[in-house]
Structure 1
Protein backbone atom coordinates (compact mmCIF):
# COMPACT_ATOMS: atom_id res chain seq x y z
CA UNK A 1 0.00 0.00 0.00
CA UNK A 2 2.84 2.35 0.90
CA UNK A 3 4.40 1.62 -2.49
CA UNK A 4 1.25 2.68 -4.32
CA UNK A 5 1.04 5.82 -2.19
CA UNK A 6 4.71 6.62 -2.87
CA UNK A 7 4.28 6.23 -6.65
CA UNK A 8 1.18 8.45 -6.49
CA UNK A 9 3.07 11.12 -4.54
CA UNK A 10 5.99 11.09 -6.99
CA UNK A 11 3.65 11.27 -9.95
CA UNK A 12 1.79 14.23 -8.39
CA UNK A 13 5.06 16.12 -7.84
CA UNK A 14 6.13 15.50 -11.45
CA UNK A 15 2.77 16.71 -12.81
CA UNK A 16 2.80 19.82 -10.59
CA UNK A 17 6.39 20.61 -11.59
CA UNK A 18 5.42 20.34 -15.26
CA UNK A 19 2.48 22.69 -14.74
CA UNK A 20 4.58 25.18 -12.82
CA UNK A 21 7.22 25.16 -15.55
CA UNK A 22 4.62 25.83 -18.18
CA UNK A 23 3.11 28.76 -16.30
CA UNK A 24 6.53 30.29 -15.70
CA UNK A 25 7.33 30.02 -19.40
CA UNK A 26 4.05 31.71 -20.25
CA UNK A 27 4.78 34.57 -17.84
CA UNK A 28 8.21 35.19 -19.34
CA UNK A 29 7.18 34.67 -22.96
CA UNK A 30 7.15 37.62 -25.31
CA UNK A 31 3.70 38.82 -26.39
CA UNK A 32 2.28 37.18 -29.48
CA UNK A 33 2.98 38.92 -32.75
CA UNK A 34 0.32 41.38 -33.84
CA UNK A 35 -2.08 39.56 -36.14
CA UNK A 36 -2.18 40.68 -39.75
CA UNK A 37 -5.09 42.92 -40.73
CA UNK A 38 -8.30 41.26 -41.80
CA UNK A 39 -8.44 40.83 -45.56
CA UNK A 40 -11.40 42.23 -47.45
CA UNK A 41 -12.60 40.48 -50.61
CA UNK A 42 -13.16 42.79 -53.54
CA UNK A 43 -15.36 41.13 -56.12
CA UNK A 44 -17.72 42.46 -58.68
CA UNK A 45 -19.14 42.20 -62.12
CA UNK A 46 -19.74 44.48 -65.06
CA UNK A 47 -22.34 43.83 -67.75
CA UNK A 48 -21.32 45.33 -71.09
CA UNK A 49 -24.28 45.59 -73.46
CA UNK A 50 -23.64 44.35 -77.00
CA UNK A 51 -24.68 46.93 -79.64
CA UNK A 52 -26.73 44.23 -81.36
CA UNK A 53 -28.07 40.99 -79.90
CA UNK A 54 -27.68 39.39 -83.33
CA UNK A 55 -23.94 40.11 -83.41
CA UNK A 56 -23.39 38.80 -79.85
CA UNK A 57 -22.20 35.27 -79.06
CA UNK A 58 -24.70 32.60 -78.03
CA UNK A 59 -26.03 32.83 -74.47
CA UNK A 60 -23.89 31.15 -71.77
CA UNK A 61 -20.78 31.11 -73.97
CA UNK A 62 -17.47 32.89 -73.32
CA UNK A 63 -17.31 36.47 -74.56
CA UNK A 64 -15.24 39.61 -74.64
CA UNK A 65 -16.72 43.11 -74.53
CA UNK A 66 -17.21 44.66 -77.97
CA UNK A 67 -14.29 46.83 -79.23
CA UNK A 68 -16.16 50.09 -78.65
CA UNK A 69 -16.75 49.38 -74.95
CA UNK A 70 -14.78 51.22 -72.29
CA UNK A 71 -14.63 48.01 -70.21
CA UNK A 72 -12.09 45.54 -71.61
CA UNK A 73 -10.50 42.26 -70.47
CA UNK A 74 -7.27 42.70 -68.53
CA UNK A 75 -8.20 46.23 -67.50
CA UNK A 76 -6.87 47.20 -64.07
CA UNK A 77 -9.12 47.55 -61.04
CA UNK A 78 -7.57 49.49 -58.12
CA UNK A 79 -8.66 49.93 -54.53
CA UNK A 80 -7.49 52.87 -52.43
CA UNK A 81 -7.84 53.23 -48.66
CA UNK A 82 -9.18 56.32 -46.89
CA UNK A 83 -5.70 57.90 -47.11
CA UNK A 84 -5.66 57.61 -50.92
CA UNK A 85 -3.04 54.83 -50.94
CA UNK A 86 -3.46 51.99 -53.46
CA UNK A 87 -3.84 48.88 -51.30
CA UNK A 88 -4.65 46.35 -54.00
CA UNK A 89 -5.14 45.77 -57.70
CA UNK A 90 -6.84 43.20 -59.84
CA UNK A 91 -7.78 42.66 -63.46
CA UNK A 92 -11.05 42.24 -65.31
CA UNK A 93 -11.45 38.59 -66.28
CA UNK A 94 -13.24 36.99 -69.22
CA UNK A 95 -16.96 36.73 -69.11
CA UNK A 96 -20.04 34.93 -70.28
CA UNK A 97 -22.81 36.06 -72.60
CA UNK A 98 -26.04 36.72 -70.73
CA UNK A 99 -29.41 38.22 -71.51
CA UNK A 100 -32.17 37.26 -73.90
CA UNK A 101 -32.99 37.39 -77.61
CA UNK A 102 -33.46 41.18 -77.68
CA UNK A 103 -30.55 42.31 -75.48
CA UNK A 104 -27.33 40.48 -74.65
CA UNK A 105 -24.44 41.46 -72.41
CA UNK A 106 -20.92 40.26 -71.88
CA UNK A 107 -20.69 39.82 -68.11
CA UNK A 108 -17.09 40.18 -66.92
CA UNK A 109 -15.76 40.24 -63.39
CA UNK A 110 -12.92 40.86 -61.00
CA UNK A 111 -11.94 39.41 -57.65
CA UNK A 112 -8.98 39.99 -55.32
CA UNK A 113 -8.26 40.77 -51.66
CA UNK A 114 -7.03 43.90 -49.91
CA UNK A 115 -6.21 44.69 -46.28
CA UNK A 116 -9.42 45.60 -44.48
CA UNK A 117 -7.86 48.31 -42.34
CA UNK A 118 -9.99 51.25 -43.48
CA UNK A 119 -13.66 52.03 -43.12
CA UNK A 120 -13.88 53.87 -46.47
CA UNK A 121 -12.51 52.80 -49.83
CA UNK A 122 -12.30 54.09 -53.37
CA UNK A 123 -12.67 51.71 -56.31
CA UNK A 124 -11.27 52.69 -59.69
CA UNK A 125 -12.07 50.50 -62.69
CA UNK A 126 -9.95 51.40 -65.72
CA UNK A 127 -10.66 54.96 -66.86
CA UNK A 128 -14.06 55.22 -65.17
CA UNK A 129 -14.71 57.78 -62.45
CA UNK A 130 -13.76 56.60 -58.94
CA UNK A 131 -16.50 54.98 -56.87
CA UNK A 132 -16.62 55.45 -53.09
CA UNK A 133 -17.60 52.63 -50.73
CA UNK A 134 -17.68 51.78 -47.06
CA UNK A 135 -16.37 48.42 -45.90
CA UNK A 136 -19.96 47.18 -45.56
CA UNK A 137 -20.82 48.37 -49.07
CA UNK A 138 -17.94 46.34 -50.50
CA UNK A 139 -18.99 43.27 -48.53
CA UNK A 140 -22.42 43.39 -50.19
CA UNK A 141 -20.83 42.99 -53.62
CA UNK A 142 -20.18 45.28 -56.54
CA UNK A 143 -22.37 45.02 -59.61
CA UNK A 144 -22.34 47.44 -62.55
CA UNK A 145 -23.29 47.84 -66.17
CA UNK A 146 -21.67 49.99 -68.81
CA UNK A 147 -24.20 52.27 -70.47
CA UNK A 148 -24.24 53.00 -74.20
CA UNK A 149 -22.61 56.35 -73.35
CA UNK A 150 -19.62 54.58 -71.74
CA UNK A 151 -20.59 55.35 -68.15
CA UNK A 152 -20.36 52.80 -65.37
CA UNK A 153 -23.66 52.59 -63.49
CA UNK A 154 -24.59 50.58 -60.38
CA UNK A 155 -27.07 47.72 -60.86
Structure 2
Protein backbone atom coordinates (compact mmCIF):
# COMPACT_ATOMS: atom_id res chain seq x y z
CA UNK A 1 0.00 0.00 0.00
CA UNK A 2 1.28 3.43 -0.91
CA UNK A 3 1.83 6.13 1.58
CA UNK A 4 -0.34 9.28 1.40
CA UNK A 5 2.73 11.47 0.80
CA UNK A 6 3.61 9.51 -2.37
CA UNK A 7 0.06 9.82 -3.68
CA UNK A 8 0.17 13.56 -3.18
CA UNK A 9 3.49 13.97 -5.06
CA UNK A 10 2.31 12.26 -8.26
CA UNK A 11 -0.39 14.84 -9.13
CA UNK A 12 2.01 17.68 -8.29
CA UNK A 13 4.57 16.28 -10.76
CA UNK A 14 1.90 15.99 -13.44
CA UNK A 15 0.77 19.57 -12.84
CA UNK A 16 4.37 20.84 -13.09
CA UNK A 17 4.98 18.90 -16.30
CA UNK A 18 1.74 20.18 -17.83
CA UNK A 19 2.61 23.75 -16.84
CA UNK A 20 6.06 23.42 -18.43
CA UNK A 21 4.60 22.11 -21.70
CA UNK A 22 2.01 24.92 -21.75
CA UNK A 23 4.72 27.53 -21.11
CA UNK A 24 6.78 26.24 -24.05
CA UNK A 25 3.70 26.28 -26.32
CA UNK A 26 2.78 29.82 -25.31
CA UNK A 27 6.32 31.04 -25.98
CA UNK A 28 6.41 29.28 -29.35
CA UNK A 29 3.10 30.81 -30.40
CA UNK A 30 4.14 34.26 -29.18
CA UNK A 31 7.39 34.19 -31.14
CA UNK A 32 5.93 32.74 -34.34
CA UNK A 33 4.31 35.97 -35.67
CA UNK A 34 7.48 37.94 -34.99
CA UNK A 35 9.64 35.57 -37.02
CA UNK A 36 7.59 35.44 -40.19
CA UNK A 37 7.27 38.55 -42.30
CA UNK A 38 3.75 39.15 -43.50
CA UNK A 39 3.16 40.65 -46.91
CA UNK A 40 2.29 44.34 -46.67
CA UNK A 41 -1.35 45.34 -46.90
CA UNK A 42 -2.24 48.24 -49.21
CA UNK A 43 -4.96 49.55 -46.88
CA UNK A 44 -2.57 49.58 -43.89
CA UNK A 45 0.14 51.36 -45.88
CA UNK A 46 -2.34 53.93 -47.20
CA UNK A 47 -3.29 54.72 -43.58
CA UNK A 48 0.39 55.30 -42.72
CA UNK A 49 1.38 57.46 -45.71
CA UNK A 50 0.51 61.16 -46.00
CA UNK A 51 -0.47 62.84 -49.25
CA UNK A 52 2.04 65.63 -49.97
CA UNK A 53 -0.72 67.81 -51.47
CA UNK A 54 -3.55 67.73 -48.93
CA UNK A 55 -1.55 66.53 -45.86
CA UNK A 56 -4.04 63.79 -44.97
CA UNK A 57 -3.40 60.06 -45.14
CA UNK A 58 -3.76 58.39 -48.53
CA UNK A 59 -6.81 56.43 -47.44
CA UNK A 60 -8.63 59.73 -46.86
CA UNK A 61 -7.33 61.63 -49.88
CA UNK A 62 -8.66 61.79 -53.43
CA UNK A 63 -5.95 64.10 -54.78
CA UNK A 64 -4.32 63.08 -58.06
CA UNK A 65 -0.95 62.58 -56.36
CA UNK A 66 -2.60 60.39 -53.71
CA UNK A 67 -4.22 58.25 -56.42
CA UNK A 68 -0.82 57.78 -58.10
CA UNK A 69 0.78 56.91 -54.77
CA UNK A 70 -1.94 54.32 -54.06
CA UNK A 71 -1.37 52.74 -57.48
CA UNK A 72 2.39 52.71 -56.85
CA UNK A 73 1.90 51.00 -53.47
CA UNK A 74 -0.33 48.31 -55.01
CA UNK A 75 2.18 47.77 -57.83
CA UNK A 76 5.14 47.41 -55.42
CA UNK A 77 3.15 44.98 -53.23
CA UNK A 78 2.37 42.88 -56.33
CA UNK A 79 6.11 42.88 -57.14
CA UNK A 80 6.85 41.51 -53.67
CA UNK A 81 8.34 44.60 -51.99
CA UNK A 82 8.26 44.79 -48.22
CA UNK A 83 6.50 47.52 -46.25
CA UNK A 84 9.87 49.01 -45.24
CA UNK A 85 11.07 49.09 -48.87
CA UNK A 86 7.90 50.83 -50.05
CA UNK A 87 8.07 53.41 -47.26
CA UNK A 88 11.76 54.07 -47.90
CA UNK A 89 11.11 54.59 -51.62
CA UNK A 90 8.27 57.04 -50.89
CA UNK A 91 10.44 58.92 -48.36
CA UNK A 92 13.22 59.15 -50.99
CA UNK A 93 10.79 60.62 -53.49
CA UNK A 94 8.59 62.85 -51.28
CA UNK A 95 10.63 63.44 -48.12
CA UNK A 96 10.31 62.26 -44.50
CA UNK A 97 7.00 64.09 -43.93
CA UNK A 98 5.24 61.53 -46.13
CA UNK A 99 5.22 59.08 -43.18
CA UNK A 100 2.25 59.75 -40.87
CA UNK A 101 3.96 58.76 -37.61
CA UNK A 102 7.11 60.52 -36.47
CA UNK A 103 10.34 58.52 -36.67
CA UNK A 104 11.47 56.81 -33.50
CA UNK A 105 14.96 58.33 -33.47
CA UNK A 106 16.73 61.60 -32.82
CA UNK A 107 14.75 64.65 -31.76
CA UNK A 108 11.51 63.08 -33.01
CA UNK A 109 11.66 60.50 -30.22
CA UNK A 110 10.18 63.23 -28.01
CA UNK A 111 6.85 62.78 -29.79
CA UNK A 112 6.80 59.24 -28.39
CA UNK A 113 8.52 59.84 -25.04
CA UNK A 114 6.71 62.95 -23.77
CA UNK A 115 3.23 61.41 -23.47
CA UNK A 116 4.63 58.33 -21.75
CA UNK A 117 6.76 60.48 -19.43
CA UNK A 118 3.83 62.74 -18.59
CA UNK A 119 1.65 59.73 -17.77
CA UNK A 120 4.39 58.26 -15.55
CA UNK A 121 4.87 61.56 -13.71
CA UNK A 122 1.10 61.91 -13.24
CA UNK A 123 0.83 58.37 -11.89
CA UNK A 124 3.74 59.01 -9.51
CA UNK A 125 2.12 62.24 -8.29
CA UNK A 126 -1.22 60.51 -7.67
CA UNK A 127 0.59 57.72 -5.82
CA UNK A 128 2.55 60.20 -3.69
CA UNK A 129 -0.60 62.11 -2.76
CA UNK A 130 -2.45 58.89 -1.91
CA UNK A 131 0.49 57.68 0.19
CA UNK A 132 0.66 61.04 2.02
CA UNK A 133 -3.08 60.99 2.74
CA UNK A 134 -2.95 57.42 4.01
CA UNK A 135 0.00 58.24 6.29
CA UNK A 136 -1.74 61.37 7.60
CA UNK A 137 -4.82 59.33 8.53
CA UNK A 138 -2.70 56.90 10.54
CA UNK A 139 -0.87 59.74 12.28
CA UNK A 140 -4.18 61.41 13.22
CA UNK A 141 -5.53 58.10 14.58
CA UNK A 142 -2.37 57.50 16.57
CA UNK A 143 -2.50 61.07 17.95
CA UNK A 144 -6.13 60.64 19.03
CA UNK A 145 -5.24 57.43 20.87
CA UNK A 146 -2.52 59.23 22.78
CA UNK A 147 -4.80 61.99 24.04
CA UNK A 148 -5.04 62.30 27.80
CA UNK A 149 -8.30 61.21 29.44
CA UNK A 150 -10.81 63.79 30.62
CA UNK A 151 -10.71 65.07 34.12
CA UNK A 152 -13.32 63.36 36.32
CA UNK A 153 -15.61 66.43 36.60
CA UNK A 154 -15.59 66.93 32.81
CA UNK A 155 -16.30 63.27 32.24
CA UNK A 156 -19.30 63.48 34.64
CA UNK A 157 -20.56 66.56 32.76
CA UNK A 158 -20.32 64.75 29.43
CA UNK A 159 -22.08 61.69 30.84
CA UNK A 160 -24.86 63.87 32.29
CA UNK A 161 -25.31 65.70 28.97
CA UNK A 162 -25.44 62.43 27.02
CA UNK A 163 -27.91 60.96 29.54
CA UNK A 164 -30.16 64.00 29.22
CA UNK A 165 -29.93 63.79 25.44
CA UNK A 166 -30.82 60.08 25.39
CA UNK A 167 -33.73 60.55 27.82
CA UNK A 168 -34.86 63.53 25.99
Structure holding more strand per residue: 1
Structure number with the bigger relative contact order (C-alpha 8 A, sep ≥ 6) is: 1
Is this a same-fold pair by TM over 0.5? no
Q: Calculate the TM-score normalised by the size of structure 2.
A: 0.27
Q: Calculate the TM-score normalised by the size of structure 1.
A: 0.28
